Structure 1
Amino acid sequence: MKANLKTCFSLVVLLFIFSVASAQEKQFDKVVKIDGEEMIGNVTAINDDAISFIHKGESLTYTVKTTDINKIQFASGRVEFFTETPSASPAAPAAPNSGNTVQSHHNQVAVLPFDYMGSGGSRDDKMGLKVQSDCYTFLKKKAAMFNIQDPMTTNALLVKNNLHVDNLIGLTPGEMANLLGVEYVIYGSVVITQTGVTNSSSNAYSSKSNGNRYNSTNFGSSTSSASFNTNVDMKIYNDQGQNIYADTHDSFWPDENAYEITLQYLIKRTPLYTK
């Protein structure tokens, strides 16, 4: 009997610990209103003119008019827009703990320098900045609902805070967003590995008559070309530190500059992309 009681008690304790852990890991929806207010909790229903919403840690259901909502960022990472806010110039980023308001970083996106590992196995910081710039340019064209922070601004803020590719992990994604004054931060890496070398050769033969004699000449040439595998990894975090997108992809093409089309492939699948 005592053994059964101990077993039941152990099961109850395990269930309690599991429920607490599950509650801590639970992700929440974020409703961003037109005035910049952010509501964290669960969206339980969406109608034509209103949504039903329960605040985090509460049980009462509220009704919010869709005309008052700019967007909903669901726990899954999907973003649904309701009312597009008037376009404006990106707000100037502020230093950490400077009292940034929600409106100052709302819909702002920063692209960090990519961690670029060349085929030789060493980090190439210049190429990392090149990929950052390419990502920024493509997003400017294909993320019309967002303001993409200029890489020069992003990099200046990183330098002023003694941050570079090697030590970016010293800040959490939420802290990084606050530092850069944005709502979303893009992290990325490019890794190139040489997969093989192809050698080819060709021969040519010519002859020339000289009376009763023939002079012949052989011509030969050889070429070699290397093939590469390019892997691009991309992650996007919001200012709450939540990961809203993560994917990695190997290039379809074997050349060393194949990261460009692979980068575009990933961007098209992010919640920031609009056709």
Structure 2
Amino acid sequence: MRYFSLFKTVLLLVLTVSCYFTSFSQTGKKHDVIVKLNGDQLNGDVLEITDSTIRFTYTGEKLVYNIKKSDILKITFASGRVETINTPATTVQNTPVNTGAPTQKSAEERRNKVAILPFSFVKDGQNAAQEVSDEVQNELFALLSKHSGVYTVVSPRATNVLLNKAGITKATMLNYTMAEICQILGVEFIIDGLITQNRTTQTSYGNTSYSDKTKKKEDSDDKKSSGYASTSSTSVQNYETTMDMKIYNDKSEIVYNQNRKAFWNTGDAYKNTMEYLIKRSPLYKK
């Protein structure tokens, strides 16, 4: 009995030590590590590498997975060897390039700022030259900037530069809301206008001049008179001019809308009409 008991004790000790080393060998075994391009890390054993996939099984599992090589950054094998499968895309931080697009400003930055768009000028049914529209724009700027009070009127050149950079022309203007144009120009208010001018009658002015020449006879006291008269005339073209003026805010709301027919019939009668309308707008301060 004594020997049998000793045998059981030794056998139990051997089994315990065996189980310990078996467990240690399993837990201490190194495994392969797969790192994917998205940052995921897979621990297990790489069984096979093909041209397009990697056969892989997770630690403690028997199920085999096929992983696309295109998704894998690198493999660190249990031996310590590292094999790079794909090179990660390099993130290049470029300095922002000025594309010419205007920088949008906040509502506070746009507050009380006013821009004048180039006026449309239609003469006898035809659009006038761009220079005519620019001239009206400059004339209104000169008039309003002297009586703007708390408002800041943006110069026509600055306005036109920003419009050109944004690709906004008379032809494309209707593709934008006035709120969008306010954002582009960095203003709270926009003045837009249309002038139509058509020929009407002609007024003729005549002028007559008279010349007198007197000759005295030597043998008498009688006088003989002779003379001549000349007549000239000029014609002046008359026009009928109408101006439409609108002021929009940065919500595309019309805050001022007036239309007026010029009192005078001259070609530059729009100037007095423009002054009349802007003086009655909410942006004009005496």
- Please report the TM-score for the alignment, with normalisation by the length of structure 1: 0.60
Secondary structure of residue in 2 paired with 1:158: helix
Alpha carbons 1:118, 1:124 under 8 Å: kept: no
Are the structure 2 counterparts of residues 122 and 226 from structure 1 closer, same or farther at C-alpha, using a change threshold of 3 Å? same
Unaligned residue ranges in structure 1 (runs of 5+): 1-93
SS where residue 243 of structure 2 aligns? strand
Q: 2:188 aligns with which of 175, 183, 189?
A: 183
Determine which structure has more spread, i.e. the larger CA radius of gyration. Answer: 2
Q: Structure 1 counterpart of 2:118, which letter?
A: P
- Residue 73 of structure 2 is matched in structure 1 by none
Q: How far 1:214 moved relative to its partner?
A: 4.7
Q: Cα–Cα, structure 1 residues 237 and 253, in superposed 2: closer, same or farther, change >3 Å?
A: same
Give, as a single letter, the amino acid of the residue that structure 1 aligns with 2:172.
N
> Could you tell me the TM-score, scaled by structure 2's length?
0.58
State how far apart, in whole Å, the 1-side matches of 2:125 and 2:255 are: 32
CA distance in 1 between partners of 2:172 and 2:281 (Å): 25
Which position in structure 2 is the counterpart of 1:172? 177
Higher relative contact order (CA 8 A, sep 6+): 1
Paired with 1:241 and 1:222, the residues of 2 have a C-alpha distance of 53
- The aligned residue for residue 208 of structure 2 is 203
Contact (CA 8 Å) 1:95, 1:181: kept in 2 or not?
no
Post-superposition offset of 1:244: 0.9
1:105 and 2:110 matched: yes
Residue 49 of structure 1 is matched in structure 2 by none
- Sort the Cα spacing of 1:151 and 1:204 in 2 relative to 1 into closer, same or farther, 3 A: closer
The answer as to whether partners of 1:157 and 1:180 remain within 8 angstroms in 2 is: yes
Identity %: 33
- Match of residue 139, structure 2, among 126, 134, 140: 134
- The DSSP-based 3-state class of the residue aligned with 1:165 is coil
What letter is aligned with 1:258?
A
Question: 2:274 matched to which residue of 1?
Answer: 263
Deviation at 1:153, TM superposition (A): 0.9
Superposition map of 1:34-49 within 5 A:
none
- Taking only aligned residues, the RMSD between alpha carbons, in angstroms, comes to 2.1
Aligned 1:208-227 pairs, distance under 5 A: 208-210=213-215, 211=217, 214-227=225-238
Q: How far, CA to CA, are the matches of 2:106 and 2:228 in structure 1?
A: 80
Deviations 1:196-216 (A, max 9, x none): 101132333444344476543
**Equivalence for 1:114:** 119
Paired residues in the alignment total 181
The CA distance in 2 between the partners of 1:247 and 1:221, in whole Å, is 43
In the TM superposition, residue 127 of structure 1 has moved relative to its aligned partner by 1.3
CA contact (8 A) 2:121 2:194 kept: yes
Name stretches of at least 5 consecutive residues in structure 2 with no aligned partner: 1-99, 218-222
Aligned partners of 1:188 and 1:234 also within 8 Å: yes
- Do the aligned partners of residues 250 and 101 (structure 1) sit closer, same or farther apart at CA in structure 2, a change above 3 Å counting? same
1:126-184 CA distances to partner (integer Å, 9 max, x unpaired)? 11111111111211111111111111110001111222223322211111111111111
